[in-house]
Amino acid sequence: MSAAIQTAGPAVTAGRRSREAIHGELNYLVPMRERAYWCEEEVVPPGATLTNMNYQAHAVAIENARALPPLSLDREGFQFETNETAVGDFFDADEVARLYDREVEALLKARTGAERILIFDHTIRRHMPAGDDRRGGVRLPATRVHVDYTESSAPRRVRDLVPDEADRLLARRFAFINVWRPIGNTVRDMPLALCDARSVAARSLVPADLIYKERTGEIYYVTFDARQRWLYVPEMQPHEVILLKNYDSAKDGRARLTPHAAFLDPTAPAGARPRQSIEVRAIAFFDE
């Protein structure tokens, strides 16, 4: 551990946790008229570009969620809490499948009341050189403000994953929820910024095609709106998790989606260890 990190002892940590807000830069989609897209390099047609999207950084206030009353999946669209794990090595896919999936399933059932949880993806991220993205199955932190699913792609993804059950499952409420956890060390480098779902205007959500070799997905990228309210959880530790809602089929006033992005924390100590995290993507199916 470097001397710079060692100086961030209990007094410094307590001060950062009690601070009401910081100012950081988030990367937003520049408004555009044409259909937005991003192509996997292997499927880009001759003469075409990987993407037609451009991004612009905007400085925003990002509130300290630790200093606020408890947050809620159905109100703000996300919440954080302590959640111990028996997993010793998150880079061991077999151990994650054997132990962590059951832990995540139990957590989501307890917090949402869902009848069934379908876990379909695990993504490990580390802050590292851009050229290392996807190397060894590890991804870079996602630094562009986005939402993982759209009104169109969420039900389509259910049909992709459970085609034989899709008609029955889609007739009732379902929600895509990510469980985000630090790996190995406290997060001081590239924490996750989360947007209060109540502050998100529909006009800020821009559907974009993600064109892969085997399928085409769709997510929302987000344009800047000064009325958006941003929050983060400083100094997250490996025994803490964020539950993040990416889509909810219910249209009854509860939060339906939460834009999010990693950002450079301007208060992070010099030499902070690179952020490592795992996010589990799951679908919660409800009996309602």
User: CB of 183 within 8 A of CB of 14?
Assistant: no
User: CB of 6 within 8 A of CB of 274?
Assistant: no
Q: Which residues, in sequence order, are CB contacts of 123 under 8 Å at separation 6+?
A: 139, 278, 279, 281
Q: What confidence score (pLDDT) does residue 182 get?
A: 97
Q: What confidence score (pLDDT) does residue 6 get?
A: 26
Q: What confidence score (pLDDT) does residue 8 get?
A: 32
Distance, in Å, from the CA atom of 133 to the CA atom of 154, rounded to the nearest integer, reads 25
Render 83-140 in DSSP notation, one character per residue: -----S-TT-HHHIIIIIHHHHHHHHHHHH--SEEEEEEEEEEE---GGGTTGGGEE-
Q: What is the pLDDT along the chain (288 residues), one digit of tens a residue?
A: 222 222 233 333 444 555 799 999 999 999 999 999 999 877 887 777 899 999 999 999 999 999 999 999 999 999 999 999 999 999 999 999 999 999 999 999 999 999 999 999 999 999 877 666 666 678 899 999 999 999 999 999 999 999 999 999 999 999 999 999 999 999 999 999 999 999 999 999 999 999 998 899 999 999 999 999 999 999 999 999 999 999 999 999 999 999 999 999 999 999 899 999 999 999 999 998
| 176: helix, strand or coil | strand
Q: What confidence score (pLDDT) does residue 133 get?
A: 65
Q: What confidence score (pLDDT) does residue 40 get?
A: 87
Domain borders along the chain are 3-285
Q: What confidence score (pLDDT) does residue 17 get?
A: 56
Q: What confidence score (pLDDT) does residue 137 get?
A: 76
The pTM is what? Answer: 0.90
